[in-house]
Amino acid sequence: MRPRLLEWLRQGASGRSAVSALPLLWLVLFFLAPFLIVLKISFSEARLAMPPYAALVEWTHERVLAIQLHLANYHFLFTDPLYGNSFLYSLRVAALSTLACLLLGYPMALAIARASPARRNLLLMLVILPFWTSFLLRVYAWIGLLKDDGVINNLLLALHLIDAPIAMVNTSFAVYIGIVYSYLPFMVLPLYSNLEKHDASLLEAAADLGAPPWKAFLRVTWPLSIPGVVAGAMLVFIPAVGEFVIPSLMGSANQLMIGRVLSDEFFENRDWPVASAVAIVVLIVLLGPIVIFQRYRSRELAGAA
Amino acid sequence: MSARRVLLLPTILAFGFAFLYLPILSMIVFSFNASRLVTVWDAAHSPTLKWYGELFHNQQIIDAAVLSLKIAAMNATGATILGTMAGFALVRFGRFRGRALLAALTTAPLVLPEIITGLSLLLLFVAMEQLLGWPSSRGVTTITLAHISFSLSYVAVIVQSRLIGFDQSLEEAALDLGARPAKVFARITLPLIAPALLSGWLLSFTLSWDDVVISQFVAGPGASTLPMVIFSKVRLGVSPDVNALATLMVSIVAVGAVSAALLLQRRERRRERDLRLALADPGGG
């Protein structure tokens, strides 16, 4: 950095610290502190009171500071099969949806990246546009299509392809459709921004050397696009694991995803400690993917500088 | 490249767009359907605007929409201010105390499942109420605070990427010419990052306008945002006035997006023309 600029920054040191301190304080108060509270409550005992949990740290009557870590909530999560099942179900739904997003999103991103520059912006806008319209209403639109008396069943019945409506809504199938539909743009956009940077002459060289297009793709395009694939996959997988709205509106009542279990524990059973323990376990499970995504993002930012 | 391959990609692209747009299209069509059975087309009485009429007489939806607009605007403004500060600090300030923490905390909301964010914020508000007596009830204030907390990260990301590709020579020149730092910021830096601030504001607005999970956690019984009302309506079953509402919202976004794109394109063309003229006339007019 140029000396003048450094001087400017140094002069404004007091204003500077306010600029960095204000958002930092905000995030510590509204993001870090809440997590510590969740962690704390996950170790406490449920009580019939408001708030419905016991304090961890208490002054007992002998003026002794008593700290009780209550591990029963976690033990409960690992012994009651409801939690294990919904965890595995959530992970499976998230993983398969991510794969489906990749299978559909990769060719889309590639097609956009190889379109003429004039067309690219239009196509890209068409991918982003649904993202700006209400997520809830887009999920709702699918219910109208998939219902027993919905558009798809009516169409198939009218064409005499089926005799009775196919049950599609309130099944896992609907959950997959809903998640792939809602998160597809999150897969396409990072893939596009990766694929768009590829040097076309590499593919020309491969073709000149006699490689058929599929081979050029496997040996050149795919390896170069791995960072984009990872970023897109994490952007779909992480929120999909905790997805709440789509399974609530489209999923079956017998197979609950973990987000729904957390919400039910909290609102229906009013068991805040167990809900908090579920949140902590989800967080621990997602820590790996989150770290991978963060590493990718900081590399991208460094590369752009 | 073989002809088959050339056709394969556009075919999948077209399929992808059909997948993205057909549900929305069908929802728009059925918003003009007279039948209460949302998906059965009543040819005798359709198209009709009766669901739109019903929508504008539904006080619950109107109140919720007004509340959501208010929260979204407050959230977008707060998040833009705080997010810009965070983005600016992260790119421009070099090393400072708390930088690593700030960097980690600004990306956390981007990758956390909403349900965890919602739960933890509600538990925070409950704890604050016990310790400080504030916020005494949950509603507009808590929803807005919660929305700002996750929206500011998106603004920070946008501002960061704008600042990283930023030519600092203009600021340098202004400083050399004796402008005070505050003036340099207001007259040069701010106008140059204005597009990033605008897109940050719009994105925060949309995130808040769209949010149902976090709002549901931190809202008290008194405050229902539009997504919360829609969510409970849809849970009870598909209803035709929701089709009308969705059509209105999609149209507003589409008109906004298309006009923004046209505006950008025109500006881009003008810039290119100016550039061509400048290059064609090396003597300088």
Instruction: Tell me the CATH number at B147.
Output: 1.10.3720.10
pLDDT above 60: residue A13:
no
Residue of B nearest to A126 (CA): B17
The CA distance from B176 to the nearest CA of chain A, in Å, is 8
Collapsing DSSP to helix, strand or coil, A80 comes out as coil
Is A136 in contact with B145 (Cβ distance < 8 A)?
Answer: no
Q: Which of A2, A26, A283 has the most B C-beta neighbours within 10 Å, making it the best mutation to test the interface with B?
A: A26
Q: Which of A98, A96, A125, A97 is nearest to A112 (CA)?
A: A125
Q: Which of A260, A253, A298 is nearest to A282 (CA)?
A: A260
State the pLDDT at residue A122.
Answer: 85
The CA distance from A79 to the nearest CA of chain B, in Å, is 22
Q: Would you call the peptide bond into B191 cis, given omega within 30 degrees of 0 as the criterion?
A: no
Is B172 in contact with A5 (Cβ distance < 8 A)?
Answer: yes
Please give the tally of structural domains in chain B: 1
State the pLDDT at residue B107.
Answer: 85
B137 part of a folded domain = yes
State the pLDDT at residue B266.
Answer: 81
At a CB cut-off of 8 Å and minimum separation 6, what does B137 contact? Answer: B220, B222
Confidence of residue A269 (pLDDT cuts 50, 70, 90): confident
Residue of B nearest to A108 (CA): B13
Is B26 in contact with A135 (Cβ distance < 8 A)?
Answer: no
Find tokens 């490689």 and name the residue: A211
State the pLDDT at residue A5.
Answer: 63
Determine the average pLDDT of the residues in A144-168: 87
Is B238 in contact with A143 (Cβ distance < 8 A)?
Answer: yes
Q: Would you call the peptide bond into A239 cis, given omega within 30 degrees of 0 as the criterion?
A: no
- What's the mean pLDDT when you consider all of chain A? 86
Pairing between strand A65-67 and A57-59?
A: antiparallel
State the pLDDT at residue B284.
Answer: 46
B187 part of a folded domain = yes
Confidence of residue A65 (pLDDT cuts 50, 70, 90): low
Are B105 and B237 contacting, i.e. CB atoms less than 8 angstroms apart? no
pLDDT above 60: residue A1:
no
State the pLDDT at residue B285.
Answer: 41
In the chain, the amino acid numbered A176 is Y
Nearest to A294 among B13, B107, B242 (CB): B107
Nearest to B124 among A2, A33, A188 (CB): A33
Residue of A nearest to B30 (CA): A144
How many Å apart are CA A119 and CA A121, to the nearest integer? Answer: 6
Collapsing DSSP to helix, strand or coil, A221 comes out as helix
State which H helix or E strand residue A222 sits in. helix A222-241
A281-305 confidence digits (pLDDT tens):
999 999 889 888 888 877 776 665 4
Could you give the percent of chain A with pLDDT greater than 70?
A: 88
DSSP state of A57: E
The CA distance from B153 to the nearest CA of chain A, in Å, is 9
Are B58 and B184 contacting, i.e. CB atoms less than 8 angstroms apart? no
Q: Which of A178, A157, A190 is nearest to A245 (CA)?
A: A178
Contacts of A151 in chain B (CB under 8 A): 26, 39
Is A20 in contact with B92 (Cβ distance < 8 A)?
Answer: no
Find tokens 């003026």 and name the residue: A63
Q: What are phi and psi of B23, to 5 degrees?
A: -60, -40
Contacts of B104 in chain A (CB under 8 A): 294
Is B238 in contact with A293 (Cβ distance < 8 A)?
Answer: no
Q: Which of B278, B100, B111, B25 is nearest to A28 (CA)?
A: B100
Q: Which of A297, A274, A286 is nearest to A242 (CA)?
A: A286
Contacts of B106 in chain A (CB under 8 A): 23, 27
Could you give the percent of chain A with pLDDT greater than 90?
A: 42
Nearest to B227 among A136, A286, A298 (CB): A136
Is the CATH code 3.40.50.300 the one for domain A71-304? no
Structural domain range at position B94: 50-244
Are B206 and B250 contacting, i.e. CB atoms less than 8 angstroms apart? no
Structure tokens at A202: 């590499």
Determine the average pLDDT of the residues in A176-205: 92
How many Å apart are CA B140 and CA B118, to the nearest integer? Answer: 15
How many Å apart are CA A232 and CA A251, to the nearest integer? Answer: 24
Are A266 and B119 contacting, i.e. CB atoms less than 8 angstroms apart? yes
In sequence order, the β-bridge partners of residue A2 are none
Nearest to A304 among B156, B164, B254 (CB): B164
Out of A12-26, A118-132, A173-187, pick the least confident: A12-26
State the pLDDT at residue A58.
Answer: 62
Are A111 and B10 contacting, i.e. CB atoms less than 8 angstroms apart? yes
State which H helix or E strand residue A67 sits in. strand A65-67
Q: Which of B115, B205, B206 has the most A C-beta neighbours within 10 Å, making it the best mutation to test the interface with A?
A: B115
Is B119 in contact with A234 (Cβ distance < 8 A)?
Answer: no
Buried/exposed B96-124: b ≥16 CB within 10 Å, e otherwise: beeeeebbebbbbbbbbbbbbbbbbbbbb
The CA distance from B283 to the nearest CA of chain A, in Å, is 31
State the pLDDT at residue A305.
Answer: 43
Give average pLDDT by consecutive 10-residue segment, chain B, 285 residues: 66 92 88 73 77 89 94 97 94 85 88 91 91 84 95 93 82 88 86 89 92 92 90 83 88 84 78 80 52
Is B120 in contact with A37 (Cβ distance < 8 A)?
Answer: yes
Nearest to B119 among A114, A143, A279 (CB): A279
Q: Which of B119, B190, B209 has the most A C-beta neighbours within 10 Å, making it the best mutation to test the interface with A?
A: B119
Is A111 in contact with B10 (Cβ distance < 8 A)?
Answer: yes
Contacts of A294 in chain B (CB under 8 A): 104, 107, 111
In sequence order, the β-bridge partners of residue A46 are A53
What residue spans of B31-95 are helical by DSSP H?
50-56, 59-92
Is A144 in contact with B171 (Cβ distance < 8 A)?
Answer: no
B219 part of a folded domain = yes
How many Å apart are CA A118 and CA A222, to the nearest integer? Answer: 25
* A5: number of Cβ within 10 Å: 17
State which H helix or E strand residue A66 sits in. strand A65-67
Out of A84-93, A122-131, A239-248, pick the least confident: A122-131
Contacts of A262 in chain B (CB under 8 A): 115, 119
Is B98 in contact with A121 (Cβ distance < 8 A)?
Answer: no
Confidence of residue A33 (pLDDT cuts 50, 70, 90): very high
Residue of A nearest to B242 (CA): A137
State the pLDDT at residue A10.
Answer: 59
State the pLDDT at residue A48.
Answer: 66
Structure tokens at B240: 């035709």
* B59: number of Cβ within 10 Å: 8
Structure tokens at B67: 């509340």
